[in-house]
Amino acid sequence: MRPTWFSVDLDALAHNIQAFRGLAAPAEVCMVVKADGYGHGASAVAAAALEAGATWLAVALVEEAAVLRDSGLIAPILVLSEPRPDEMSDVVGLGGVRPTLYSGAGVDAFASVADAGAPAHLKVDTGMHRVGARMDEAVAVARRILDSGLDLEGVFSHCAMADEPGDPLTTLQVERFDAVLAELAAAGIRPPVVHLANTATALSRPDAVHSMVRIGLGAYGVSPGPEMAGRCLSVGLRPVLSIHSRVTHLLDVAAGEGVGYGHRWRSVADTRLANVPVGYADGLTRDWGLGGTALVGGRRRPLRGVVSMDSLVVEVDEGVAIGDEVVLLGSQGDEEIGVAEVAERLGLIPWEFLSRLGRRPPRLYP
């Protein structure tokens, strides 16, 4: 087998969950494990999060909930968007999976296949303008859920600008959500599970923390934005994922020689290069090779030429040998390459970078 692997530090993930438990107490922690646990392996990180004190899991798709159930996890699972009507029987069959509801069709479809008293969550659009019931329709949808014989277990919304703490939209969304809760209460509707805060909001807006917080990126030890990095450091978040490979070939090129497809990099002097068997089929985008770095022998080394489908090239020196470990993400010696750094270099956001990681390299859980 090729010597390339993604290492997932479950102890670090547990530490991060415990940090959010302390930060948001007495609120419960819901671990967001959509997109295969942000590329970390959904079942493994979900199990570790639950053992560390998370009490809920959240996914984007019904099939993602099925993966968790198939792995033996029995915690409550929230599907964050309304399942299609023809998926509602699957939701029921999985047991303990809560659908998000916000349309009449969705309510009717779930009620037609679920037992009386089956729990569901109402999502309200307070400004994200993606999915959710309109604020002026929230009470009516909530009544429809209850009148259908279902249990309105939860109500929630999602903040669009929480990773930019100074943006006034977050304050407006907090106020709007509070107003919806007040309207529901005036109608005699008080769902026990209320959640607005995601990672960024939990870190920066105590007034947005209700009975549960939904933690995604922060659980994986990654800051949701440059302005939040200091806060992540202060609560002690630790990175969970690292990407490793080994040198499999060494070669010397003369000054003026091009390297890789398109010869996007040319040597200006005689140069020793190392080939490393990890590429864009593993999620490392072609342009990572143009300005990116890797750690070899505890030192940062520049990548040379575009990343190929199955390999990349690193500039090294005579001290590097075949078989030496190469770290593309993570730490080696006193050096560290973080998700935020790589994502910014590639013109991506951390969520995008992590969710693009390929499934070909094995995830190891040391």
Q: Are residues 199 and 57 in the same domain?
A: yes
Q: What is the CATH number of the domain that holds 296?
A: 2.40.37.10
- Exposure string for 177-208, b = 16+ CB within 10 A, e = fewer: beebbeebeeeebebebbbbbbbbbbbbbeeb
- For residue 180, the model assigns a pLDDT of 98
The answer as to whether 304 is a domain residue is yes
pLDDT at 17 over 90: yes
Neighbours of 115 (CB within 10 A): 9
* Nearest-5° Cα angle at 171, 165 to 172: 135
Per the DSSP assignment, residues forming a β-bridge with 243 are 6, 329
Tell me which of 179, 211, 234 is where a domain ends: 234
Structural domain count, the chain? 2
Q: Are residues 222 and 127 in the same domain?
A: yes
pLDDT at 113 over 90: yes
Neighbours of 366 (CB within 10 A): 8
Mean pLDDT for the stretch of residues 318-338: 97
The answer to whether the beta carbons of residues 78 and 46 sit under 8 Å apart is: no
Active-site residue numbers?
A: 34, 261
Q: Are residues 261 and 183 in the same domain?
A: no
- For residue 246, the model assigns a pLDDT of 98
Tell me which of 206, 234, 262 is where a domain ends: 234
Mean pLDDT for the stretch of residues 49-78: 98
The answer as to whether 178 is a domain residue is yes
The answer as to whether 108 is a domain residue is yes
Q: Are residues 120 and 147 in the same domain?
A: yes
Q: Are residues 218 and 248 in the same domain?
A: no
Q: Give Cα 203 distance to the centre of its chain.
A: 16
Q: Are residues 76 and 95 in the same domain?
A: yes
Structure tokens at 357: 């990681």
- For residue 366, the model assigns a pLDDT of 86
Q: Are residues 124 and 141 in the same domain?
A: yes
The answer as to whether 4 is a domain residue is no
At residue 345, what are phi and psi to the nearest 5 degrees? Answer: -60, -35
- For residue 76, the model assigns a pLDDT of 98
Tell me which of 210, 234, 258 is where a domain ends: 234
Per the DSSP assignment, residues forming a β-bridge with 7 are 242, 364
| Band of residue 137 on the pLDDT scale cut at 50, 70, 90 | very high
The answer as to whether 38 is a domain residue is yes
Q: What is the mean pLDDT of the chain?
A: 97
Sign of CA dihedral 25, 225, 215, 205: positive
- For residue 91, the model assigns a pLDDT of 98
Residues in Cβ contact with 208 at an 8 Å cutoff, skipping those fewer than 6 apart: 159, 162, 170, 174, 177, 196, 197, 201, 202
Tell me the pLDDT tens digit for each residue of 208-229: 999 999 999 999 999 999 999 9
The answer as to whether 2 is a domain residue is no
Q: Are residues 206 and 290 in the same domain?
A: no
Poorest-confidence range of 4-13, 79-88, 294-303, 341-350? Answer: 341-350
Residue count (the chain): 366
| Band of residue 282 on the pLDDT scale cut at 50, 70, 90 | very high
pTM of the model: 0.95
Q: Are residues 304 and 194 in the same domain?
A: no
pLDDT at 121 over 90: yes
> For a pLDDT cut of 90, what percent of the chain falls above it?
98
The answer as to whether 228 is a domain residue is yes
Q: Are residues 126 and 194 in the same domain?
A: yes
Mean pLDDT for the stretch of residues 261-283: 97
Structure tokens at 34: 């959509």
Tell me the pLDDT tens digit for each residue of 286-297: 999 999 999 999
Structure tokens at 262: 């398109």
Q: What is the CATH number of the domain that holds 226?
A: 3.20.20.10
The answer as to whether 1 is a domain residue is no
pLDDT at 166 over 90: no
Give CA–CA dist 206/262, Å, rounded: 51
pLDDT at 202 over 90: yes
The answer to whether the beta carbons of residues 179 and 218 sit under 8 Å apart is: no
For residue 189, what are the domain limits?
A: 10-234
Structure tokens at 75: 């915690």
Mean pLDDT for the stretch of residues 137-145: 98
Q: Are residues 305 and 225 in the same domain?
A: no
At residue 136, what are phi and psi to the nearest 5 degrees? Answer: -75, -5
Q: Are residues 158 and 218 in the same domain?
A: yes
> For a pLDDT cut of 70, what percent of the chain falls above it?
100
